[in-house]
Amino acid sequence: MPPVLSISNLKVSFSSDEGPIGAVENLNYSLNANQTLAIVGESGSGKSVHALSILRLLPPSPYCKTEGEILFHGKNLLDLPIKEMRKTRGNKIAMVFQEPMTSLNPVLTIGEQIAEPLMIHKGKSRSEALKEAARLLDRVGIPDAKRRLSNYPHQFSGGMRQRAMIAMALSCNPEILIADEPTTALDVTIQAQILELIKELQKEFQMAVILITHNIGIVADMADQMIVMYAGRAVEAASMTSLFKRPSHPYTRGLLSAIPSPDSKKDRLESIPGRPPDLKNKPRGCPFAPRCPEVQARCWENDPPSFDLGDGHLSNCWLLEKQ
Amino acid sequence: MTTEKDVFHLEAKNLRKLFSVKEGFFGHPKAIRALDGISIGVEKGTTLGIVGESGCGKTTLGRILCLLETPSEGTILYDGKEVQNLKGKKLKEFRREVQIIFQDPYASLDPRMTVSEILREPFIIHGEWKNDGQTRLLKLADKCGIAKSHLSRYPHEFSGGQRQRVGIARALALNPKLVVCDEPVSALDVSIQAQILNLLKDLQKELGLTYIFISHDFSVVRHLCDKIAVMYLGKIVEFALADEIFSNPQHPYTEALLSAIPLPDPEKQKQRSRIILSGDIPSPLSPPQGCSFHPRCRYAEDSCRRDVPLLKETSPNHQVACPVLPLDRAKISP
Ligand SMILES: Nc1ncnc2c1ncn2[C@@H]1O[C@H](COP(=O)(O)OP(=O)(O)OP(=O)(O)O)[C@@H](O)[C@H]1O
Ligand SMILES: Nc1ncnc2c1ncn2[C@@H]1O[C@H](COP(=O)(O)OP(=O)(O)OP(=O)(O)O)[C@@H](O)[C@H]1O
Ligand code: SF4
Ligand SMILES: [Mg+2]
Ligand SMILES: [Mg+2]
């Protein structure tokens, strides 16, 4: 079966006074129906920007430039006429945004906002759409859903807003759901419920899911594939099992050891010392070199290509060259 | 915990908060009971964790404690003195000493100001900019993981985690004495999360800061907190030393919460048994009678459906609001 989504050589950059900011560089992956891809990585590594580029929600050129190919059922979304794009967005490809308040309209009620895509894309009447909105809100665990349709976003708690957005994204049964940190504001029990719901809908509608998160616990439970991003690029990509069995990039290993464990208490948490590179003038060589505990002489000189460790496990690190 | 027992740095007594919302599109206003009789205190130099389900009132409690919202009922004591009616200079002084890191970083940062303007503001408001303001600002930004080249940029040019760090830096700018941290690290990747949590810990050691730390993430809470209060639908259902909560959770809701923490390992995750709560999540528009957890509780008895359980001490430093203790776990296991 051909993939639903296939991204190749995706590059996104923003212009600034001091030169272009390379937010995403050379990203490649493909995603099948009914599959879940997890994207984890450093804050500022380009996870959200990559997601916004799929939906063409980034600021216009020349301030922001997107290059490469984003094929949705074989059609390049980057070339799609605006009108077609509007029909796709929120309907065939839906997104849960990282910060609910940026995408909820403060002057419209929650009910109106969930009902809107149903009226636009599915041709439902207002009252049908509102009924459906109540059902969706209920499924994401908002008690008394029907009575809360008339609330405004500021009358919802942080986690309730996040769930309202999830309801909105799921309303049209999208083929691809992009969930950008969908459960950061949710406690574990509701988190589990939402993830179950996503899994159910995935089965029912063969939905493909891109799950952006820094909660590796969630990833372990949900995803088939995982990409680890650092400074705008994928530094490791593998199936879930392979990645946990042999995390191969030093950044991935650092990330895994920084997870605070619920069953022990340490005085200090592990962190990866240092900062990610300035995306405006990235140094030569491996972008992780300045922070890498295993850095070697050549890391400073040449950017490591991606090495195939078998079974589609890819990693960009010189240490892996000979294996 | 080193401080005297009975003097709280910040204390709330019997807080209640009702919000009025319209019910249905044409309906009459109805009250949401966001806080329902909360009494809690935090000792100087310690960290109090507040955990609980989404919508249970954590943010509302945090905002009321910072005097950003008025309670419908109840009192707030700062250093033993009532503060909810403070005005003018006294209020300004309170605001300087008591800071909050907001849950939603985007909504709390002015989109028209650059990061350096945002961070300069507190110094200017409190007349501390003068000579060394700029130096202090740079040091602060650095400590919070904000790159120098980011200072001239606007909030929308940042990633979620970068914005959150700006919010953290702003709260810490003037060396506050108490900080309410509302989900301060949930938008951050684990490595930066660790850096920020370590920073909060260092500042506490250095300056004797007091924290009220709101989070859903038990593993984060555990690393930082001395005591933990578990909230459910506007009430505290369990309150104990942090280690106690983990080693000896007593309220059925706490038990379920702990069992649902995702483990960062697919093998371990598959093996454990999770308590998935079923039953209706109660609504603050019409809270159930008796214990508000009873519709989802595996242990509920008749009295739970009838009487509101009060917080009772089950052992020193451990309070629980549940009448069926100790839980008979054998009874319910499948
Ligand atoms: N509108 C913009 N203008 C300029 N730079 C931007 C803009 N949006 C994002 N960036 C930059 O692009 C980089 C990638 O940002 P992105 O939001 O994708 O990060 P992220 O991986 O989602 O991080 P987080 O985990 O913190 O959400 C960041 O360095 C950010 O500062
Ligand atoms: N300004 C408001 N007007 C009306 N209702 C409100 C308002 N603020 C909060 N509420 C309601 O009060 C209850 C508690 O909200 P609060 O934001 O304190 O929850 P929370 O525990 O912080 O949740 P979360 O973990 O999702 O952030 C919710 O039912 C919410 O809808
Ligand atoms: S290529 Fe070198 S610097 Fe980069 S991650 Fe590998 S060892 Fe570290
Ligand atoms: Mg992001
Ligand atoms: Mg909140």
Greater pLDDT, B35 or B26: B35
Average pLDDT of the residues in B143-168: 87
Tell me which residues of chain A, numbers 239 to 268, contact chain B at a CB-CB cutoff of 8 Å: 240-241, 244, 254-256, 258-263, 265-266, 268
A109 interaction partners in chain B (CB closer than 8 Å): 25
Spatial contact of B245 and B238, defined as CB atoms under 8 Å apart: yes
pLDDT band at B267 (very low <50, low <70, confident <90, very high): low
* Cβ-based neighbour number of residue B15 at 10 Å: 25
Give the number of C-alpha atoms closer than 13 A to the C-alpha of residue A111, restricted to the C-beta side. 21
Percent of chain B with pLDDT over 90: 51
* Start-to-end Cα distance in chain B: 41
CA nearest to A223, candidates B189, B219, B220, B262: B262
Say if residue B160's pLDDT is above 90. Answer: no
ipTM entry: 0.80
How close A265 gets to chain B, by Cα (Å)? Answer: 6
| C-beta A287 within 6 A of ligand 3 | no
The reported pLDDT for the residue numbered B257 is 84
Say if residue A262's pLDDT is above 70. Answer: no
Average pLDDT of the residues in B272-278: 67
CB–CB contact A184 B256 (8 Å): no
Q: Which atom of ligand 3 is nearest to the CA of A293?
A: 8
The ligand 2 site (C-beta within 6 Å) comprises A 154-160, 185; B 19, 21, 32, 34, 54-60, 103, 284
Q: Distance between CA B161 and CA B139 in Å, rounded?
A: 19
Q: Which atom of ligand 1 is nearest to the CA of B161?
A: 26
Beta strands A21-31 and A5-14, pairing class: antiparallel
- Check the CA dihedral A116-A118-A124-A128 and report its sign: negative
Say if residue B334's pLDDT is above 50. Answer: no
* Cβ-based neighbour number of residue B268 at 10 Å: 12
Tokens, residue A75: 């059609």
* Minimal-distance CA residue of chain A relative to B230: A187
Say if residue B227's pLDDT is above 90. Answer: yes
Of B54, B191, B219, the CB nearest to A185: B54
Say if residue A275's pLDDT is above 80. Answer: no
Q: Is A108 on the interface with B (CB under 8 A)?
A: no
* Residue nearest atom 24 of ligand 1, based on CA coordinates: A43
Percent of chain A with pLDDT over 70: 96
* Start-to-end Cα distance in chain A: 32
Of A44, A181, A217, the CB nearest to B262: A217
The reported pLDDT for the residue numbered B144 is 86
pLDDT digits (tens, 9 = 90+) for B309-319: 999 999 988 99
Question: Helix, strand, coil shares of chain A as percentages rounded to 5?
Answer: 35, 20, 40
Average pLDDT of the residues in A297-301: 93
Average pLDDT of the residues in B163-182: 92
Radius of gyration of chain B (CA): 21
CB–CB contact B23 A150 (8 Å): yes
Average pLDDT of the residues in A133-151: 92
Say if residue B131's pLDDT is above 50. Answer: yes
Greater pLDDT, A96 or B106: A96
Q: Is A157 on the interface with B (CB under 8 A)?
A: yes
* Cβ-based neighbour number of residue B150 at 10 Å: 19
Average pLDDT of the residues in B252-277: 73
Left if phi > 0, otherwise alpha if psi is -120 to 50, otherwise beta: which for B217? Answer: beta
Comparing A62-71, A85-94, B179-188, the range with the smallest average pLDDT is B179-188
- Average confidence score pLDDT of chain B: 87
pLDDT digits (tens, 9 = 90+) for B81-114: 999 899 999 999 999 999 999 887 777 888 899 9
Q: Distance between CA A235 and CA A44 in Å, rounded?
A: 14
